[in-house]
Amino acid sequence: MVNEDLLAIDYKKDFPLLRELDVAYLDNSATSQRPQCVVDAESEFYLKHNANPLRGLYQLAMEATDGYENARIAVQKFINAKSEEEIIFTRNTSESLNLVAYSYGLSNLQAGDEIVTTIMEHHSNMLPWRMVAAKTGAVVKYIECAQDGSISEAALEEAITSKTKIVAMAQVGNVLGRLNPVEKAIELAHKVGAVAVIDGAQSVPHMPVDVQASDADFLAFSGHKMFGPMGIGVLYGKKKLLKKMPPFLYGGEMINWVSRETQEYAPLPHKFEAGTVNAAGAVGLHAAIDYIQSVGFEVIEAREAALTKIAFEGMQKIEGVHIIGSDKWEEHKGIITFTIEGVHPHDIAAIFDADGVNIRAGNHCAQPLLDHLGTGATARMSLAFYNTVADVERFLASLSTMRERMGYGR
């Protein structure tokens, strides 16, 4: 399909909010919208199959269990994990990363060890490692990116050494939108006997991710950024690692048996899922995965790229607009962060809002990166495949009036 035909398809019809609200929703990195089928799947769970999964011994409880466990299998296939035991449901990316930090990090690291991460990480892939460092005496080392957001192989090679125990990196950064060299990082981590933790929050919704091909040890992502419900997230971990790790949270449903003095933990993956789980959320995520597959990553990637190009080239023509990161649109995976000379990002967001354009402004939970690049607060537009050329044109039209409306050049 050529791009024009592709861009002509109306996907907003699947999304009730986008159908009914007259806004250009361009804050998809923060959270996506949800299609009707996801909302229906979640509500159908409560309306027809609701019982406490994994516990009850009656028909309804088994249906609830099936719904939950089928969702796990859907996730397993979606990221091509070897086994469903490697899929742990959490609340979100942040919780998934904390699970690895608390369980793997605290029990495997000691003073003198190093955790290698990058300066562009979301705070969720930075603060858990600092916690591990503070408690174990390990050191967190930051790989710096160039002004265009790139991380060189040389920088990776220099940072990852025999002292390295964990390499933590986002596959796509949430500010610069650039695809990071995670395969290379994973390879180098394995060479020195370290594990690689990949933050897939901004990649999994937008491109095919295959954990066997990349050989990542852990992968974290959130349902709510991939058209699924809020409150459901995923941690993938290699079975041989998960098996040896201690539980993260303790309580009901994560044990085989408990006596007065001792207990045996449940096998994977339930060892890591203490307490009543978010089964309806998992069922909603299952529907989201089915939906993504019905659209197809080919279409998703092609539409997002085409829209990124239009937005990027339009922005380059507007005086006073500065794009952060790479000056090639191909190197922005649907995310364009920018500033406007003389206009504070919060004013930018407010004026966009008046024009029905939703974008994010501030530090995007990545303050060290913005300090490193020397930009301070910025504005960010982020696309999803359901966005349209009209959304981007509305964004550009508003953007081109911004300086004048703030009183410049009158």
Ligand X SMILES: Cc1ncc(COP(=O)(O)O)c(C=O)c1O
Which of 32, 76, 117, 125 binds ligand X (CB under 6 A)? It is: 125
Q: How far apart are CA 349 and CA 379, in angstroms?
A: 7
Which of 28, 33, 76, 94 binds ligand X (CB under 6 A)? It is: 94
Q: How far apart are CA 282 and CA 192, in angstroms?
A: 36
Residue 93 touches ligand X, criterion: CB under 6 A: yes
CB of 408 to ligand X, least distance (A): 32
Distances (CA, A) of 409 to 8, 313, 314, 320, 403: 38, 23, 21, 12, 8
Tokens of 165: 């125990």
Residue 124 touches ligand X, criterion: CB under 6 A: yes
Q: How, if at all, do strands 263-265 and 255-258 pair? A: antiparallel
Size of the site for ligand X (CB under 6 A): 14
Of 141, 120, 303, nearest in space to 207 by CA: 303
Q: How far apart are CA 96 and CA 88, in angstroms?
A: 8
CB of 344 to other proteins, least distance (A): 4
Secondary-structure breakdown of the chain: helix, strand, coil percentages, each rounded to the nearest 5? 45, 15, 40
Which of 351, 366, 383, 392 binds other proteins (CB under 8 A)? It is: 351
Contact status, residue 81 vs residue 238, Cβ threshold 8 Å: no
Q: Identify which of residues 163 and 405 has a Cβ nearer to other proteins in the complex.
A: 405
Question: Residues 206 to 225: which contact ligand X by CB under 6 A?
Answer: 222
351 is in the binding site of which of other proteins, ligand X, none (Cβ under 5 to 8 A by kind)? other proteins
Residue 320 touches other proteins, criterion: CB under 8 A: no
CB of 154 to ligand X, least distance (A): 24
408's CB contacts (< 8 A; 6+ apart) are 320, 342
CB of 405 to other proteins, least distance (A): 6
375 is in the binding site of which of other proteins, ligand X, none (Cβ under 5 to 8 A by kind)? none
Residue 199 touches ligand X, criterion: CB under 6 A: yes
170 is in the binding site of which of ligand X, other proteins, none (Cβ under 5 to 8 A by kind)? ligand X
Of 394, 400, 384, 329, nearest in space to 28 by CA: 384
CB of 24 to other proteins, least distance (A): 12
Q: How far apart are CA 228 and CA 231, in angstroms?
A: 9
Q: Identify which of residues 170 and 361 has a Cβ nearer to ligand X in the complex.
A: 170
SS3 at position 211:
helix
From 139-147, 194-202, 241-249, 294-302, give the range in contact with ligand X by CB under 6 A: 194-202
Catalytic, out of 62, 365, 377, 389:
365
- Could you give the angle at the alpha carbon of 178 between the alpha carbons of 175 and 182, nearest 5°? 115
Residue 322 touches other proteins, criterion: CB under 8 A: no
Q: How, if at all, do strands 164-170 and 195-199 pair? A: parallel
- Is 37 a residue of the active site? no
Tokens of 45: 């769970």
408 is in the binding site of which of other proteins, ligand X, none (Cβ under 5 to 8 A by kind)? other proteins
Contact status, residue 137 vs residue 187, Cβ threshold 8 Å: no
SS3 at position 150:
coil
Residue 406 touches other proteins, criterion: CB under 8 A: yes
Residues 26-65 vs ligand X: string with x where CB under 6 A?
A: ---x------------------------------------
CB of 250 to other proteins, least distance (A): 34
CA 291 vs. chain centroid, Å, equals 18
Instruction: Name the residue type at position 7.
Output: L
Helix (H) or strand (E) holding 313: helix 297-316
From 121-129, 188-196, 236-244, 353-361, give the range in contact with ligand X by CB under 6 A: 121-129
Which of 355, 365, 368, 389 binds other proteins (CB under 8 A)? It is: 355
Question: How long is the chain?
Answer: 410
Task: Give the DSSP letter of residue 121.
Answer: -
Binding-site ranges for other proteins (CB under 8 A): 343-347, 350-351, 353-356, 362-363, 376-377, 397-398, 401, 405-408
Binding-site ranges for ligand X (CB under 6 A): 29, 92-94, 122, 124-125, 170, 174, 199, 201-202, 222, 365
Q: Which residues are catalytic?
A: 365
